[in-house]
């Protein structure tokens, strides 16, 4: 699963609940027993909501992972509420196990792995505060009329990053020229045609910032993926 798909899962869950404005420490969010866990982002902002995301791989089956969380989260956070919710159809083939606790939502997203076992993501984020709209991430540079399909910012030790996916009805050449002009004062690291003229790659650097852009042209216009990284001062 690509990073661009994680936001839709987590956002769907975040918007499914209401929350109080009371502050609380994040609850314990266990990983499946004996799973190998790695950090995806310490602080990822998706649709204005901040969350931490981890990835995991386990030899256990999807059903065993579900049972692990049913047992770990069997105590309801509020009297009369379920300990967790399991959803198998909304984002098939992914299974979602969700728990809301102390103004946080915890989501284990798991899928079968071949030849055996399972893999997935663990997302922990605060629920939206009533009446407080999310702070939108900065808009990526784009040609007029472009649609932003996804826009993710993350903050990890030593750097901050933004990944945006866009689409517009302009030609490949028009988009290439736009971004060349947008970053004309930056150092050009890459500016080359790939895939027999169907795609173009650009990369620019200025100080501690780097931007990498891939543009794919087609009959319906162009699809753009823009990745920018800014390193902190050492």
- Using alpha carbons, select from 84, 136, 118 the residue that is nearest to residue 1: 118
The answer on 201 and 160 residing in a single domain is yes
Q: 181: domain range?
A: 147-231
The residues of the chain scoring below 70 in pLDDT are: 1-24, 45-49, 128-135, 156-157, 233-234
Residues 72, 180, single domain; the answer is: no
Q: 49 lies in a domain?
A: yes
Cβ neighbours of residue 127 under 8 Å, at least 6 residues apart?
A: 14, 17, 18, 19, 100, 103, 104, 105
Residues 152, 118 share a domain: no
CATH assignment of the domain containing 178: 3.30.530.20
Identify whether the C-beta of residue 126 lies closer than 8 Å to the C-beta of residue 50.
yes
113 and 215, same domain (yes or no): no
Q: Is residue 140 part of a domain?
A: no
For residue 161, the cross-strand partners are 154, 229
Look at residue 8 in the predicted model and tell me its pLDDT: 42
Residues 27 and 93 in one domain: yes
135 occurs within a structural domain: no
pLDDT digit string, tens, across residues 212-226: 999 999 888 999 999
Cα 143–Cα 147–Cα 149 angle in degrees, nearest 5: 130
């Amino acid at each position: 699963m690509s990073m661009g798909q994680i936001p839709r899962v987590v956002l769907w869950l975040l918007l499914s609940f209401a929350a109080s404005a009371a502050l609380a420490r994040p609850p314990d969010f266990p990983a499946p027993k004996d799973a190998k866990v790695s950090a995806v982002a310490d602080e990822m902002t998706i649709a204005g909501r901040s969350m931490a995301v981890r990835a995991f791989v386990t030899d256990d089956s999807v059903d065993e992972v579900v049972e692990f969380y049913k047992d770990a989260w069997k105590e309801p956070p509020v009297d009369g509420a379920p300990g967790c919710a399991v959803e198998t159809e909304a984002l098939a083939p992914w299974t979602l196990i969700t728990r809301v606790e102390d103004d946080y939502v915890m989501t284990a997203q798991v899928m079968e792995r071949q030849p055996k076992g399972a893999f997935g993501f663990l997302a922990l984020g605060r629920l939206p505060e009533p009446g407080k709209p999310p702070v939108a991430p900065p808009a990526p540079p784009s040609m007029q009329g472009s649609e932003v399909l996804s826009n993710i910012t993350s903050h990890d030790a030593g750097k901050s990053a933004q990944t945006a996916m866009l689409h517009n009805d302009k030609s490949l050449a028009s988009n290439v020229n736009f971004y060349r002009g947008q970053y004309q004062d930056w150092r050009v690291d890459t500016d080359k045609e790939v895939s027999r003229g169907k795609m173009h790659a650009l990369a620019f650097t200025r100080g501690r910032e780097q931007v990498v852009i891939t543009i794919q042209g087609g009959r319906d216009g162009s699809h753009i993926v823009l990745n920018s990284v800014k390193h902190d001062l050492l």
